[in-house]
């Protein structure tokens, strides 16, 4: 009877975690596009819904494996102790995420989950049972993610605005838009086929987007207005939709790991008598991604304003550079299997485009508020998890 209760509670809490993750991180995914006034929040959320699920299902296994098996070894835990661990980790992470969402502050669910895993491992397994080398690489990836996003956004913003300023006719804008679409498609495919490896997989990633890019150019040519100003606005809007889609794909791929990894542990206990699967199943990834996308769609409006409007005023060009920088950064850390932070990536990207226009364009008060909540997150969830683990019967 206790086992059944633990199983149902573990599934429920893992899915609640997925929901609140989507709700809290909506601003990270679509905030720049909405802040640039190029798409409504409703339409942006609907677009993100589809790509969140796709990213989670196709690429979510990289990070989920590190979260649930990289820091502690679940095979060292008995059935009920493992399920109790899932409950403790999910409960402490979810509680902290609810607090952050209520305060309208974007927070990294992955960072909170890492804190919870470490807290549980310290109490139940002991200091020497934790894989400190993996944890060190994860901690190092957090500031690296921030700095990479800042760097990419500054470079992309300056290159993009320079190219726009030199475009004296609508056809040049069309070429620029098509080229950037091609870059986005190649980046996504390279991550998708990287597990296969080899020259053929790389060539396929470079060649496959060409027909779609040509089709995009043909369709866009018929719709781009003759006026240079109107054409620029249309191209910016299309590219923001593309970068938002890629940002949603990368967020789903990365952030689904927290809930999907925990859910996989519960499913493994039920399905194969406690033998832990080495890889998170596609079905678990899909379900977790679906619930996360639903959370974003239904409750994501709560934190949209923080990053979309308060860090720096966003033009369509700045919004595109920030979104694309975030997506590229998160695709990279996802493929490396590093549980990093989408919040850090988008915050760094928006700071980068703000700095490109001058230091006065960055609202330091909002940045400090976001970073303070983010820095507190890891020790807070660690202590929450340790307290719950100590109170759990063993």
Of 141, 133, 217, 124, the closest CA to residue 174 belongs to 217
pLDDT: which is higher, 127 or 33: 127
For CA atoms 364, 135, 198, 254, give the dihedral sign. Answer: negative
- C-alpha pair distances (Å), 368 with each of 305, 351, 354, 374: 16, 12, 15, 10
pLDDT at 308: 53
Q: Tell me how crowded residue 334 is: count the other CB atoms within 10 A of its CB.
A: 28
Q: Name the least confident of 143-157, 306-320, 323-337.
A: 306-320
Encoded tokens for 282:
């596609």
Give, to the nearest 10 degrees, the angle between helix 209-223 and helix 170-193.
150
Residue 155 pLDDT grade (very low, low, confident, very high; cuts 50, 70, 90): very high
Residue labelled with tokens 């009920």: 80
pLDDT at 291: 95
Q: What is the mean pLDDT of residues 271-290?
A: 73
Is the pLDDT at 275 greater than 80? The verdict is no
Residue 325 pLDDT grade (very low, low, confident, very high; cuts 50, 70, 90): very high
Q: Name the least confident of 220-229, 325-334, 349-358.
A: 220-229
DSSP string, 320-343: HHHHHHHHHHHHHHHHTT----HH
Range among 98-112, 144-158, 234-248, 348-362 with highest mean pLDDT value: 144-158
Q: What is the mean pLDDT of residues 331-344?
A: 88
pLDDT at 294: 92
pLDDT at 274: 42
pLDDT at 271: 61
User: 105-143: per-residue pLDDT in tens?
Assistant: 667 888 889 999 999 999 999 899 899 999 999 999 999
pLDDT: which is higher, 373 or 336: 336
Percentage of residues in the chain with pLDDT exceeding 70? 92
Q: What is the mean pLDDT of residues 337-355?
A: 88
Q: What is the mean pLDDT of residues 269-290?
A: 72
Give 388's contacts (C-beta < 8 A, 6+ positions apart).
Answer: 88, 91, 92
Mean pLDDT of the chain: 83
Give 14's contacts (C-beta < 8 A, 6+ positions apart).
Answer: 86, 90, 259, 260, 262, 263, 266, 288
Q: Name the least confident of 91-105, 187-201, 210-224, 364-378.
A: 187-201
Is the pLDDT at 64 greater than 60? The verdict is yes
Encoded tokens for 237:
């809007």
DSSP string, 94-150: HHHHHHHHHTT----HHHHHHHHHHHHHHHHT-GGGS-HHHHHHHHHHHHHHHHHHH
Residue 287 pLDDT grade (very low, low, confident, very high; cuts 50, 70, 90): very high
The answer to whether residues 348 and 153 touch, using CB atoms and an 8 Å cutoff, is yes
Is the pLDDT at 35 greater than 60? The verdict is yes
Residue 305 pLDDT grade (very low, low, confident, very high; cuts 50, 70, 90): low
């Amino acid at each position: 009877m206790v086992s059944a209760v633990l199983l149902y509670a573990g599934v429920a809490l893992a899915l609640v975690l997925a929901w609140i993750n989507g709700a809290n991180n909506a601003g990270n995914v679509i905030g720049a596009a909405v802040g640039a006034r190029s798409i409504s929040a409703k339409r942006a959320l609907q677009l993100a819904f589809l790509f969140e699920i796709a990213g989670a299902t196709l690429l979510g296994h990289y990070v989920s494996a590190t979260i649930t098996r990289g820091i502690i070894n679940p095979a060292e835990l008995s059935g009920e102790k493992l399920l109790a661990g899932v409950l403790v980790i999910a409960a402490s992470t979810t509680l902290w995420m609810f607090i952050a969402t209520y305060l309208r502050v974007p927070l990294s669910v992955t960072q909170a989950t890492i804190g919870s895993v470490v807290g549980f491992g310290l109490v139940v397994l002991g200091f020497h049972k934790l894989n400190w080398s993996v944890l060190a690489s994860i901690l190092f990836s957090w500031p690296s993610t921030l700095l990479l996003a800042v760097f990419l956004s500054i470079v992309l913003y300056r290159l993009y605005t320079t190219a726009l300023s030199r475009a004296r006719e609508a056809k040049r804008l069309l070429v620029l838009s098509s080229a950037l679409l091609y870059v986005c498609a190649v980046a996504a495919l390279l991550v998708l086929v990287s597990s296969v490896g080899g020259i053929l997989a790389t060539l396929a990633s470079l060649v496959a987007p060409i027909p779609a890019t040509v089709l995009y150019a043909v369709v866009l040519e018929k719709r781009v207005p003759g006026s240079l100003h109107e054409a620029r606005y249309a191209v910016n809007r299309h590219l923001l939709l593309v970068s938002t889609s890629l940002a949603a794909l990368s967020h789903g791929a990365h952030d689904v790991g927290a809930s999907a990894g925990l859910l996989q542990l519960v499913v493994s206990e039920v399905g194969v008598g406690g033998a832990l699967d080495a890889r998170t199943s596609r079905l678990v990834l899909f379900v977790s991604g679906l619930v996360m996308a639903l959370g974003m769609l239904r409750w994501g409006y709560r934190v949209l304003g923080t990053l979309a409007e308060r860090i720096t005023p966003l033009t369509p060009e700045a919004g595109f550079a920030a979104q694309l920088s975030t997506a590229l950064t998160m695709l990279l850390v996802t493929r490396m299997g590093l549980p990093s932070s989408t919040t850090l990536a988008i915050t760094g990207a928006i700071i980068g485009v703000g700095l490109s226009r001058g230091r006065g364009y960055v609202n330091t008060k909002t940045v400090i508020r976001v970073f303070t909540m983010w820095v507190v997150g890891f020790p807070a969830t660690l202590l929450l998890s340790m307290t719950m683990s100590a109170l759990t019967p063993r």
